[in-house]
Amino acid sequence: MSLILEIKNAWIRYPQKNALEDVSLRVEEREMLGIFGYNGAGKSTLLKVIIGLKRLDSGSVMVHGLQLTPRALLEIRRKTAYLPQCLDTDIRMPISAWDVAMMGRYGKIGLFKRPSRSDREFVRTVLRQVDADSYANTPFGMLSGGERQRVMIAHALAQEPRLLLMDEPTNSLDLNFTRNLGNIIREAHRRLQLTSIIVSHDAEFLSEICTRILLMRDGRITRNLLPDEFRDDRLVDRHFREALQ
Amino acid sequence: MNISIINDPFMQHAILATLLAGVVCPLIGVLVVTMRLSFIGVSLAHAAFAGALLGLILGVNSAIMALIFSVIAAGILGPLADRGDFSPDTAMGVMFTSALGLSFLFLSLIPGPETEALGLLWGGVLTVTQTELGFLAGVTLVTLLTLLLFYKEVCAVLFQREIAESTGIPATTIFYGILLFCGLAITSSLNIIGGMLVFCLIINPAAAAYQLTYRLSTMFGLSVLIGVLSGWLGLIFSCIFNLPTGALIIVTSSAFFLVTITFSPKRKVHFQTIPKDGNYG
Ligand SMILES: Nc1ncnc2c1ncn2[C@@H]1O[C@H](COP(=O)(O)OP(=O)(O)OP(=O)(O)O)[C@@H](O)[C@H]1O
Ligand SMILES: [Mg+2]
């Protein structure tokens, strides 16, 4: 197994608090890593660092064997898909769900080229996978929260990434589709030899699909648990009790 | 109005100039409206106007000065809008009013008769020179080509910059490119539509088109259609009533906007509250 991500001593300092405090992390290829923790623990910040949307104050990040620098950014991003925690777009935006899903592939398609037949075929497949094909032609802004979330998941999958970062993917999803999402991610792991990092407050979801779960608190990674340990409530409880002290 | 007026070379220039301005400004307008950059755009327009006036005072080419000023304004405002961690409203307010202040200052400093300055203020379709027309045609062509070449990247940036960025699209470069093209469109149409009004031709047709469609390509098309129609109708009205063309073009485009919001299929959405379910909104 080879290393797909390595973060060393990452710090992000804000005037009020540190969003990341000396975070180090190694992720092997094909892992399905969960991240769990309180609001404000720094989970989203960590994902944004990996995709280069937030810059570290100190420390280093290596993704796909490349040091995360402005020059390597484009290449890293093309191999990495990112599902943001929240999305603000204009609800009257003249862009359809199909267009949004297709946008996931734009980096891959490259400049000056139009989506090919196989690109369209691929997008059709992922939209079907997330059960969004019935509203593919609906303007994105008209969709419900969960429908949009599905389209954004399709957007991430359409990219055919090597590394998938998902920030609260089960947000707004109904019970049924949450279960499906687990299968979809597992399937993508097999097909694309994917590695994924999933931030979620849904403990059941994480323990179901992840191979390893990190607990975060106050900008630090404080525990590194196997799914069984994570299911063991006492360990997680103790983690949060310590937080209260 | 006599129809033979069409044979007049001034009139032919005017028809061509309003056509070109009616294409390039509304095209840029679609980007400005969907990205909600109106305030940046209007600040650029006023900076360009101030620059053009300074050009008149110093006796240098006012189009070049206008472009330099709008690029400087874009260079200041771009990063502010870009930062995202604080609201750039205040900074833009300062920028906007400063540009306005400079314009008035420069207006008062212009030596000799103020006809040229008034031309900049009101716009003069009938006095457009061959060079100005060439510049406008060049800008229109380059804008069209660039938009066609980078259409899908531009769409992704319009939808959501951070997401576009994260899929490996150079969204920041595209964003600044859009501001630059906005400056170019403003500069090249400045003395046709008028310094105070040019931004209306950017925003009105696009805002009207935005009301009518949920397809981006249709929005580009409608916006240009409304822009060109406003341009030509404005020109006709100005010949009939003997009033400034730029102002009439703007009034016509505003009328289009009013009509579209009245009949917009999005009107219902317009007044709906945005769902605040914590996820999206
Ligand atoms: N631009 C910023 N300026 C100042 N503080 C920030 C900024 N961005 C994030 N923070 C702080 O960093 C901390 C971590 O934020 P982050 O979004 O990573 O939390 P999170 O673990 O994802 O929380 P949640 O579960 O609510 O999504 C928060 O306390 C937040 O206030
Ligand atoms: Mg978060």
Number of domains comprising chain A: 2
Considering the domain architecture, whether residues A245 and A167 belong to the same structural domain is answered as: yes
pLDDT tens digits, one per residue of B98-142: 888 998 899 888 877 777 777 788 888 888 889 999 999 999 999
Chain A, 172 to 211: residues with Cβ < 8 Å from chain B are: 172
Considering the domain architecture, whether residues A23 and A65 belong to the same structural domain is answered as: yes
| Within-domain flag for A209 | yes
Nearest ligand to the CA atom of A14: 1
Question: How does DSSP assign B101-116, residue by residue?
Answer: HHHHHHHHH--S--HH
CA A151 to ligand 1 centroid distance, Å: 25
Cα–Cα distance for residue pair B76/B79, rounded to 1 Å? 6
Domain boundaries, given as residue ranges, for chain B: 3-198
Considering the domain architecture, whether residues A149 and A169 belong to the same structural domain is answered as: no
Which of B171-175's residues contact partners 24+ apart within 8 Å by CB, and which partners?
B172/B82, B174/B150, B175/B35, B175/B78, B175/B82
- Domain spanning B3-198 has what CATH number? 1.10.3470.10
C-alpha dihedral sign at B26, B27, B30, B31: negative
Phi, psi of A182 (to 5 degrees): -55, -45
Phi, psi of A231 (to 5 degrees): -65, -30
CB atoms within 10 A of CB A63: 26
Considering the domain architecture, whether residues A54 and A117 belong to the same structural domain is answered as: no
Q: Which two tokens stand for residue B195?
A: 């310094």
pLDDT of B66 > 80? The answer is yes
Q: Are B165 and A53 in contact (CB under 8 A)?
A: yes
Residue A163 bridge partners (DSSP):
A80, A195
pLDDT tens digits, one per residue of B203-257: 999 999 999 998 999 999 999 999 999 999 999 999 999 998 999 999 999 999 9
SS3 label, residue A199: strand
Cα–Cα distance for residue pair A88/A140, rounded to 1 Å? 12
Q: Are B26 and B141 in contact (CB under 8 A)?
A: no
Considering the domain architecture, whether residues A213 and A93 belong to the same structural domain is answered as: no
Residue A12 bridge partners (DSSP):
A20
pLDDT tens digits, one per residue of A232-241: 877 777 777 7
SS3 label, residue A217: strand
Query: Mean pLDDT over residues A30-40, rounded?
Result: 95
H runs (alpha helix) in A42-116: 43-50, 70-78, 97-103, 106-109
Considering the domain architecture, whether residues A69 and A29 belong to the same structural domain is answered as: yes
pLDDT of B91 > 80? The answer is no
Residue type, A159: Q
| Within-domain flag for A126 | yes
Residues of chain A in contact with residue B269, where contact means CB-CB under 8 angstroms, are: 91-92, 141-142
CA A131 to ligand 2 centroid distance, Å: 26
| CATH code of the domain covering residue A231 | 3.40.50.300
Buried b (16+ CB within 10 A) or exposed e, A171-204: bbbeeebbebbbebbeebbeebebbbbbbbebee
Any idea what DSSP says for residue A39?
T
pLDDT of A101 > 80? The answer is yes
pLDDT of B9 > 50? The answer is yes
Query: Mean pLDDT over residues B37-44, rounded?
Result: 87
Residues of chain B in contact with residue A114, where contact means CB-CB under 8 angstroms, are: 152
Q: Are A63 and A74 in contact (CB under 8 A)?
A: no
pTM of the model: 0.89
Q: Are B103 and B125 in contact (CB under 8 A)?
A: no
CB atoms within 10 A of CB B60: 12
Considering the domain architecture, whether residues A74 and A172 belong to the same structural domain is answered as: yes
ipTM field? 0.89
- Residue B278: its pLDDT value, please? 39
SS3 label, residue A138: coil
Instruction: Name the helix (H) or strand (E) containing B79.
Output: helix B62-83
Which residue's alpha carbon is at the smallest distance from atom 26 of ligand 1? A39
| Within-domain flag for A175 | yes
CA B62 to ligand 2 centroid distance, Å: 50
Considering the domain architecture, whether residues A170 and A240 belong to the same structural domain is answered as: yes
pLDDT of A88 > 80? The answer is no
- Residue B110: its pLDDT value, please? 82
| Within-domain flag for A65 | yes
Structural domain harbouring A134: 86-160
Considering the domain architecture, whether residues A68 and A176 belong to the same structural domain is answered as: yes
CB atoms within 10 A of CB A1: 7
Ligand 1 closest atom vs CA A85: 27
| Within-domain flag for A189 | no
Considering the domain architecture, whether residues A174 and A68 belong to the same structural domain is answered as: yes
Considering the domain architecture, whether residues A233 and A128 belong to the same structural domain is answered as: no
Q: Which of A157, A163, A147, A160 is nearest to A87 (CA)?
A: A147
